[in-house]
Structure 1
Amino acid sequence: MRTFYALIKNNLRISIMHKPISFLLMTITPIIVLIIASKLVSYSTTFVNVGIADGDHSRASEAVTQIVGGLEGIKVFYMDENEVEANFQSNKINAALVIRSGFQNGLLNNSIEKLVVKGNEEQNVYTLLQAILKNHLLNLRNLGKISGGDAAVFENAVGNYIASSEFVEKTSLNDLYTEYNNSNIFVGFLILFIFFNSSAIANVINTDRERNIYARIFLSPAKVWMYYLSNVLCNLVIVAFQILAAVLSMEYFTNTSIGVEPGVLFLILFLTALVAVSLGTFYVSITEEADAASMISNFANLLIVILGGCFIQVELFPKLINAISYISPARWAMGSILDLQQGLTLGDIAGNAFLLGGMAAVILAVSVIITSKREKKFRSLS
């Protein structure tokens, strides 16, 4: 194992100490992008127009209407449900809250139903409205539960909830919209750097081949699997450090909020890094020269992040491109973050997390198979 540790140290030294400027740039550039985005990117402070169709006409639906009306930057338009689509078409509203008959009864039966938030796919304002309403709806459901199904007790509790200091604190939807967009730009760039940096570190193997260092492995106690595994672990350590630096910088050195807990964000990005490192190893396994691996990885990684919606929302893609984009690990990473912004929990996106981990495992397994065949051929020739 001493040889294995020595290989890890050597990989870290080559990746960091031999290219300190490159390592520093790859670490701080996403942070610089975040700072620039938070300072320069801004959105109009005009009102977000929300249509409300209340078909329940209950104390609970009235409370939800008050909650939405209490948001800063919101202009409410009351309408019937059959008028919602026409108002979207005329651009009178940007989002709509439809409350159907039976909403309050559902809360009394410990269920959140008969409420729908609608919006234009080109604008994600409605997703922020969903995120804000989620906690309030959970609180209303809890009130229905503790009221024991008694409508009078429930309505009195709802009145007290609306009058509470928790509700009085206003939330600016414009500020939240700006922060989420700025932070998503930052995350998109960070994912881009994760893929490109992982491929660059993995390409050290091809560089060693060209310098005949790779061949010397067979004359030392080191095994080929040790060499490859040390490169993968070194890659993960460096990328994890850069992700941690970026996430902590966003949390403590800027006023930008992504609406996701730092630990959860780190986990999603680290799972993305697992896929990126596996892909970097795959690029190396199918090439023999550093330039060839670099050219293939640059093209493939750029395609992955574009299809992943890192810079353009996937909702804007044509249907065929949208369908193809599901093969991009970046799409699942960005999708997980957007889901969390809308109020979903870590448990709700567990499927995405397992999928990213599965992608990494499959790609790495394919790389191992290709590499094993190559090494057998190399040994027979040597």
Structure 2
Amino acid sequence: MGKIILVIKTILKRMFKKPSSFFLYLILPIAVSIGMYLLFNLEDHDKTNITVVDADQTMLSRSLIGNFEGTDGFDISHVHLSYLHEHMMDTGTSLAYIIPSGFEKAILAGEKPALEILSVGDQDTIWLDEILSAHVDTLMMMAEASNFQKKPLYEKIYQLKDGRVNYESTLIQDEAKKKSVTVRTFGNYMVVLLISTFTIPFQILNEKRQGTFARIGMSPIHPKSYIFANIIANVLVMMVQVGVVLLTLKFVLGAVFFVNPFIIYLILILFALCGISLGVFIAAYSKNTNAAGAFMGIIVSPSCMIAGCLWPIEFMPEYMQKIAYITPHRWTLDAISTIQANQNFVEILPHLLVVLSFTVLFFLIAVYKFKHEDKLYA
């Protein structure tokens, strides 16, 4: 055991002998995490663009529009119905609602008018429908109190501040969006984490090329023990890297994980271990570093895109979302999302077991391959 520890120390010294190693293992992961968190957090605070078509052009329709114009977080634009779709496509607006002609007339008749809400893509419209419906209900109650007479109703509206319905607003934190920011940040960080773990096949293959395995085959240290030492050294480096990234996000950027950070740490470490096992698998079936590099290129980008590391998986077709579960990345991200939502570690155990199964599978296949190479070092 003492010899393996000595080998681990030697490998760690060699790993950090070049300044580029600090960039790969520490600076790059921290930079990516900070950059992605700030970017996604900036998107989270953007105003919601809403396009309005007022086909009624009355005091009551203007009061409905004023409900949003007087509220922070909304950017309202007005357009004629004939230009609505063109305007939404040109400006990238994803939500719009149409106030029909006869809106005021319907309210004065005691009938609740129907508003049409349009959305682009999968934009949720339930909240917009509820806000508009609540305001229309308020207008109808005011109309009833005015005996459905236009003049008394207008007088009541004019009595309100700035001609708008008087309401109180309370700022609440939208946890769903903040959780999405952290999950997307971790998804992008997992790409860098996977690249960091994939240095191990290059280490093993370079040692094969330089004859290190042949030399240690004649020493008390078996090649399998040397590979094990490589794995342990990389695990130690990943433990430091993940810890530094989480500490930076939490204490420098003030990120909220909605769960004990240690649980997030364990989830990411398990994924890192899976990446290391995949790296050993690549080393076992690659003849040289060029082959390993090509193998990595085939694995990293497609798997990260399919798994939803680079963008929300909801943007992908349903069949692609199902295919994503052939990757350990998807199970890792699901584990983070689930623990954030439910705060129950038991519920993510199946996810962690799946990632662990991937890890064991890659290791076993690699061990089987290395076993048949033992005769080279007999």
For normalisation by structure 1, the TM-score amounts to 0.64
User: CA 1:73–1:202 in structure 2 vs 1: closer, same or farther (change >3 Å)?
Assistant: same
> In the alignment, what sits opposite 2:9?
9
> In the alignment, what sits opposite 2:233?
234
User: CA 1:32–1:300 in structure 2 vs 1: closer, same or farther (change >3 Å)?
Assistant: same
Residue identity opposite 1:337 in structure 2: I
> In the alignment, what sits opposite 2:160?
none
Q: State the shift of 1:5 in Å.
A: 1.6
> In the alignment, what sits opposite 1:127?
none
Gaps of 5+ in 2: 51-71, 75-115, 128-168
User: CA 1:336–1:351 in structure 2 vs 1: closer, same or farther (change >3 Å)?
Assistant: same
RMSD across aligned C-alpha pairs, in angstroms? Answer: 3.2
CA distance in 2, matches of 1:11, 1:93: 51
8 Å CA contact 1:73, 1:172 repeated in 2: no
> In the alignment, what sits opposite 1:109?
none
Q: Does 2:326 align with 1:327?
A: yes
> In the alignment, what sits opposite 1:262?
261
Q: Does 2:373 align with 1:374?
A: yes
8 Å CA contact 1:87, 1:93 repeated in 2: no
Residue identity opposite 2:310 in structure 1: F
8 Å CA contact 1:247, 1:262 repeated in 2: yes
8 Å CA contact 1:260, 1:337 repeated in 2: no
Q: State the shift of 1:342 in Å.
A: 2.6
**Structure 1 stretch 273-282 or stretch 22-31: which is displaced more?**
22-31
User: CA 1:333–1:290 in structure 2 vs 1: closer, same or farther (change >3 Å)?
Assistant: same
- Whichever of the two has the greater Rg, that structure is 2
User: CA 1:293–1:274 in structure 2 vs 1: closer, same or farther (change >3 Å)?
Assistant: same
8 Å CA contact 2:32, 2:189 repeated in 1: no
Q: Deviations over 1:214-264 (max 9, x none)?
A: 211112111122111101111111111100110111111112223332111
Residue identity opposite 1:94 in structure 2: D
8 Å CA contact 1:205, 1:214 repeated in 2: no
User: CA 1:318–1:222 in structure 2 vs 1: closer, same or farther (change >3 Å)?
Assistant: same
User: CA 1:178–1:30 in structure 2 vs 1: closer, same or farther (change >3 Å)?
Assistant: farther
CA distance in 2, matches of 1:93, 1:196: 34
**Structure 1 stretch 232-241 or stretch 86-95: which is displaced more?**
86-95
Gaps of 5+ in 1: 50-71, 75-85, 98-167
8 Å CA contact 1:34, 1:182 repeated in 2: no
Q: Deviations over 1:82-131 (max 9, x none)?
A: xxxx968699982648xxxxxxxxxxxxxxxxxxxxxxxxxxxxxxxxxx
**Partner SS for 1:202:** helix
Residue identity opposite 1:7 in structure 2: V
> In the alignment, what sits opposite 1:313?
312
Q: State the shift of 1:2 in Å.
A: 2.5
> In the alignment, what sits opposite 1:290?
289
> In the alignment, what sits opposite 2:172?
171
CA distance in 2, matches of 1:348, 1:340: 7
> In the alignment, what sits opposite 2:247?
248
> In the alignment, what sits opposite 1:209?
208
CA distance in 1, matches of 2:254, 2:277: 34
User: CA 1:349–1:95 in structure 2 vs 1: closer, same or farther (change >3 Å)?
Assistant: farther
User: CA 1:177–1:31 in structure 2 vs 1: closer, same or farther (change >3 Å)?
Assistant: farther
8 Å CA contact 2:184, 2:311 repeated in 1: no
CA distance in 1, matches of 2:340, 2:22: 31
Q: State the shift of 1:286 in Å.
A: 0.4
8 Å CA contact 2:207, 2:213 repeated in 1: yes
Q: Deviations over 1:195-219 (max 9, x none)?
A: 1111113320100111112211112
> In the alignment, what sits opposite 1:36?
35
Residue identity opposite 2:204 in structure 1: I
User: CA 1:205–1:45 in structure 2 vs 1: closer, same or farther (change >3 Å)?
Assistant: closer
8 Å CA contact 1:183, 1:258 repeated in 2: yes
Residue identity opposite 2:281 in structure 1: F
CA distance in 2, matches of 1:320, 1:287: 32
State how 1:36-185 maps to structure 2 within 5 Å. 36-41=35-40, 42-43=42-43, 44-46=45-47, 94=124, 96=126, 170-173=171-174, 176=175, 179-185=178-184
